[in-house]
Amino acid sequence: MGGCQDRKEYSNPLDYVLASQNPNIKRVMDSVTQYEVQIRYTRIDRKGDSISFTDYDFQVDEKNYFYPASTVKFPIAVLALEKLNAIDTMDMKTRFYVEGDSVETTFAKAISEVFSVSDNDANNRLVEFLGQDAINIELESKGVKPVRIAHRLGFHSDDLATKPLIIYLNDSTTSIYEGTVNTAPQPLALNNIHKGSGFYEEGDLVEEPFDFSLKNYYPIDAQHGVLKRVIFPQKFQEGERFKLSEEQHQYVLKAMHTVPKAVGYDPKTYYDAYCKFFMFGDTQENIPDTIKIYNKVGFAYGTLTDCAYITDTKNKVEFLLSATVLVNKDGIFNDDQYEYDEVGIPFLAELGRAFYQLELNRKK
């Protein structure tokens, strides 16, 4: 490849990375329509106290639907902290349980579980606290749109009512935080909202596309917007920011990059990259201490997504990266036959490494 071509590709770093001959990237890019790839990479430049962003997109289109899976837990966790700020009698350490649930927890613990191992139950407890309508209204008011959180995760529930929370005011006194009744979701009218050629329902194959129109909707633009607001709040007008105290902000940043073993999970099952696809997703080795990945992944229905701010303090590397890929070769949903380990995670891991290498070699 000639020097002129090298320079031309470097002028758009995303094009350069996606032209890689590495098989983990090439395999997906050779059949890019099948994999429904969307990528946003943000280059960060610092000069004194000022920070500037340059966004590069590949096929990012809010009209092209992908299932966001657990990525929705990120804004839910942050909004739960923001809501606590508005309630005098509650904070991150407040103990509570959801009515009808036997598990007692704290808001801080639920948020830690959401990021370290992507715990569905922890997320759903925060949904009961917030309510779907409030989540959607608050995000839109901050300019995070389009977005539609319609359901809990890990089990199917059409319940529009959130359950009351039993709050411990002290060791012996509890109060009830009442639930809310939320608006029924309307079917989404988007491209690719019906996917594949069939799906399993209660053990039977239904030979028609799987309908995602009543599912959660959280496109790349919205995901990247939440990430930027949390990592770089100073870059946004006050009305666009999440209203977090300094303690809350530092807590959520720490929760985002903390690996599972650091909060007590078995490292054999929950290895460092268990919930970090970029750079390390295809290995069970430890992530170096100098590299921190502030992120939230999602994986379900053959769709893998990661939204991350990646830093290497030793080498002064930092960048933002969001990407999604669908790996469902047979076109059948709910059959557990997805190419996560063979195609999806190697692609996202290699993508992260390629951008890291690009940033490492970039003249700042």
CA dihedral 17, 19, 24, 28 (to 10 degrees): 110
pLDDT at 8 over 60: no
Please report the sign of the dihedral spanned by the C-alpha atoms of residue 117, residue 122, residue 126, residue 128.
positive
pLDDT value of position 9: 44
Confidence band for 2, pLDDT divided at 50, 70 and 90 = very low
Mean pLDDT of 270-286: 97
pLDDT value of position 320: 98
| Distance of alpha carbon 77 from alpha carbon 82, whole angstroms | 9
pLDDT at 227 over 80: yes
| pLDDT tens, residue by residue, 102-140 | 899 999 999 999 999 999 999 999 999 999 999 999 999
pLDDT value of position 239: 97
pLDDT value of position 5: 42
The region of weakest confidence among 19-28, 44-53, 156-165, 348-357 is 156-165
| pLDDT tens, residue by residue, 74-112 | 999 999 999 999 999 999 999 999 999 989 999 999 999
Identify the three-state secondary structure at position 115: helix
Identify the three-state secondary structure at position 206: strand
List the alpha helices (DSSP H) in 66-180. Answer: 73-85, 107-116, 120-130, 132-141
- Rounded to the nearest integer, the mean pLDDT of the chain is 95
List the alpha helices (DSSP H) in the chain. Answer: 3-11, 13-18, 23-29, 32-35, 73-85, 107-116, 120-130, 132-141, 220-231, 246-257, 345-361
Q: What does the block give as tokens for 311?
A: 């830093």
pLDDT value of position 363: 76
| pLDDT tens, residue by residue, 181-208 | 999 999 999 999 999 999 999 999 999 9
pLDDT at 341 over 80: yes
Confidence band for 7, pLDDT divided at 50, 70 and 90 = very low
291-300 sheet: strands from edge to edge = 50-58, 38-47, 317-326, 303-312, 291-300
pLDDT value of position 1: 36
Mean pLDDT of 58-76: 98
pLDDT at 4 over 70: no
Which domains are assigned to the chain? 3-361 (3.40.710.10)
| pLDDT tens, residue by residue, 248-258 | 999 999 999 99
Confidence band for 352, pLDDT divided at 50, 70 and 90 = very high
pLDDT at 56 over 50: yes
Q: Which residues pair with 332 in a beta bridge?
A: 198
C-beta neighbour count of 207 within 10 angstroms:
8
pLDDT value of position 364: 66
Q: Chain-centre distance of CA 68, in angstroms?
A: 8
